[in-house]
Chains A and B, each alone.
Chain A
């Protein structure tokens, strides 16, 4: 008889994937401006480090919040004892309002429908436990966040069936891809319980279009299944277009009080928008009372520290702060993304046009030896070990086309980003000459772009994407 559970002995935690191996390499040789200037630059970590100064200023002006005081009086004892899984009411209220602010108050969030969790990692797993039996499946558009393989499947026994998206239309979800995924699940004898999307998308850095959202809502209506929208990056939208949440679409379709609205759930977290992954603050939002009730009880397994709930309730209740923060966050993200995009362009590398997120979805297909995932991995290893940049290969995100990489831009200083771009440019230019000799022309035809032999300026057509209604 086995001593440990099959969960322990199997590999379903997914942590042997390259996504995590790149981290390990980085850990062994991490870049430091002074101590290790030739080390590996971490570009595989979707952290938001751009606005800490705003939070630190606020903390300095509001010492009570961290100091466990309210109006100068100690509330330490109260907080020390507070383990109610309904969460600190002031915090849930402030969080609901913050979520509304991010959506420019077009939709409302009822704090009573919020369930707090220890990060969205916990929120997503809990939702799976509530909505799916072991062996049930959720459909996810590819490429998707590698962590989902662990978070949604590992202990829950749920399955993921991919909705294949491709660069031919900017990786948007199409009706045919959705139907195919659903049928594939049925072929595999899996009961489809729902669809999970990340909006804005990780790793694409793009927002779901209204067309896609409508498609999804119509689909779940006809199939009587759930839709989970992980909106963890909702506050990182920096483009001109406004962020359209699934909640907006429900409202527009006048479905707010409908039966369908009970099958739409939103996941949120403060890890990306506020840059506080260490504080473990996540949330489930659901219109289904039973889901809220069950998820609330399950949150016992991952409650948010009352110390942290209190601090953040004070922070988010300060509307002056939140308004300034959200604006400034957008501005800085936009500038930083621009810096990455132009840096890549100078190296002859393009990205999917993005307007959100903490990363770009970078097209390095032209740098592959062959249009295969083996070649992608070879390229990735070169980039990690030789160029000394840890970026995430598309295969780790279940992308169906080799050659795409997720490159983060908000977790380092401007200078470090410059250095990273410099290294990349040098690498591309040095390999260009080698590449010209060895690469055969029929492989080049696979790429839609025109190339000149001597000058590696690539311009990928961005009009591949279907025009959206935004």
Chain B
């Protein structure tokens, strides 16, 4: 008899993937401006470190929030004992308002429909437990966050079937790709329980377009038992609020409140990206289905948010002056920082998918591959980690079906470090060490539908067309 469960002994936690291996390399030799200037620069971690100063000044001005006081009176006992899985109502209310603010109050959120969880990791898993049985499947557009393989599948027994998206149209979800994924699931004898998207997308850094949302809603309207989960964890990182369209808005605009679709659309949120607080473990599920709310609430027992943290953040988020300024400043800084990365990469002849959100860019290094294969992508990645000393995430770890794309984070380091990273990459490219494009055969280049500019052997300036993406309604 096996002593441990299969879950404990198998690999479906997904942590042997390169996504995590890159982290390990970084841990062994981490860059530090003073102590280890030649170490590996971490560009594989989607953290938002740009606005801590705003949070810290707020904390200084509002010392009660962290010290268990309300109006100078201690609320320590109250908080120490508070383990109600309905959550601190002042916190849920503040969070609901914050989510609404993130959407420029175009929609409002009822705090009674919110379930708090220990991070979006817990929220996503809990939603799977609520919506799917072992062996059921969820469709996910590729490329997607590598952690989903663990979060959605590991302990739940749920399967992921990819909706293949390609660079031919800027990785947008198409009706065809969606239907193909659905058919594929049927072929594999899997019961499709829903579609899960991340909007704005990780790793693409783009907001889901109106067209894509229409396709998704049409799909779930047609298929009455399919749910739509929208992980909107990056909603506050959209550089311009008007460009981010939440699924909640679609429900409102299309007047779906009294239809059955209304109860099949769920949102996941977290403060880990927008506020840069992954350590505090604050996530949430938002649903219009009372049964889902009820079950998810009970399940949240397995990952409640510390009352100490709920209290601190309820104070923070209740301060509307703070939140308004924060959201605006956060967007501004992220936009500038992204610009820095994009122009820096352009100068090296490297293009990215045009993005308008997120803490990273989806970088096109296909021209640097020795062959149009994932093996070549791995080789390139290893060079970048070990020789250029940048930890970036290879597209294969995100289940991208085209080799050569990498996710590169920009918000988890100082400006100087980002400049250094770009400098290192430029040097590497200029030295021609990545001079493999000469070997790229004509037949391989035909596979890409993009127009390629001619290259000179000595000068690696590539200008990739950004106009591949379909003109969008934004």
Which A residues are within 8 Å of any B CB, using their own CB?
A: 1-9, 13, 15, 47, 49, 52, 55-56, 59, 63, 66-68, 74, 76-77, 79-83, 118-119, 121-122, 125, 129-134, 136, 150-151, 154-155, 191, 224, 226, 263, 271, 275-280, 288, 290-291, 294-295, 297-298, 300-308, 311
Q: Which residue in A129, A278, A297, A301 is a CB contact (below 8 Å) of B306?
A: A278
Q: How far is the CA of A301 from the CA of B154 in the complex (A)?
A: 11
Please determine whether B80 and A81 come into contact, CB atoms closer than 8 angstroms.
no
B152-167 near A? 1/0 per residue, CB < 8 Å: 0011000000000000
* Central interface residue in B133, B154, B225, B304, by most chain A CB within 10 Å: B304
B275-306 near A? 1/0 per residue, CB < 8 Å: 01111110000000101100100110111111
Shortest Cβ gap from B321 to chain A (Å): 20
Q: How far is the CA of A134 from the CA of B133 in the complex (A)?
A: 13
Please determine whether A303 and B281 come into contact, CB atoms closer than 8 angstroms.
yes
Q: How far is the CA of A443 from the CA of B299 in the complex (A)?
A: 44
What residues on B are CB-neighbors of A226 within 8 Å? 3
What residues on A are CB-neighbors of B279 within 8 Å? 79-83, 305-307
**Which 3 A-B pairs give the minimum distances between C-beta atoms?**
A278-B307, A306-B279, A294-B8
Q: Which residue in B59, B68, B131 is a CB contact (below 8 Å) of A4?
A: B131
The segment out of B47-55, B250-258, B377-385, B398-406 that lies at the interface is B47-55
Closest to A45 in B: B81
- Does B119 touch A at the CB level, under 8 Å? yes
A1-B225 contact given A66-B66, A306-B279, CB 8 Å threshold: yes
Please determine whether A290 and B4 come into contact, CB atoms closer than 8 angstroms.
yes
Please determine whether B118 and A80 come into contact, CB atoms closer than 8 angstroms.
no
What residues on A are CB-neighbors of B241 within 8 Å? none
Which B residues are within 8 Å of any A CB, using their own CB?
A: 1, 3-9, 13, 15, 47, 49, 52, 55-56, 59, 63, 66-68, 74, 76-77, 79-83, 118-119, 121-122, 125, 129-134, 136, 150-151, 154-155, 191, 225, 227, 264, 272, 276-281, 289, 291-292, 295, 298-299, 301-309, 312
Please determine whether B150 and A80 come into contact, CB atoms closer than 8 angstroms.
no
Shortest Cβ gap from A52 to chain B (Å): 5
Q: Which residue in A130, A275, A288, A302 is a CB contact (below 8 Å) of B80?
A: A275
A80-B280 contact given A13-B298, A66-B67, A68-B59, CB 8 Å threshold: yes
Please determine whether B281 and A305 come into contact, CB atoms closer than 8 angstroms.
yes
What residues on A are CB-neighbors of B272 within 8 Å? 83
Q: Which residue in B7, B125, B134, B304 is a CB contact (below 8 Å) of A294?
A: B7
Please determine whether B306 and A308 come into contact, CB atoms closer than 8 angstroms.
yes
Shortest Cβ gap from A67 to chain B (Å): 6
Q: Which residue in B63, B82, B264 is a CB contact (below 8 Å) of A3?
A: B264
A81-B76 contact given A129-B7, A129-B155, A279-B307, CB 8 Å threshold: no
What residues on A are CB-neighbors of B276 within 8 Å? 80-81
What residues on B are CB-neighbors of A13 within 8 Å? 295, 298-299
Please determine whether B309 and A308 come into contact, CB atoms closer than 8 angstroms.
yes
Shortest Cβ gap from B283 to chain A (Å): 10
A307-B130 contact given A56-B76, A81-B47, A133-B5, CB 8 Å threshold: no
Shortest Cβ gap from A85 to chain B (Å): 10
Q: How far is the CA of A8 from the CA of B52 in the complex (A)?
A: 40
What residues on A are CB-neighbors of B80 within 8 Å? 52, 55, 275-279
Shortest Cβ gap from B294 to chain A (Å): 8
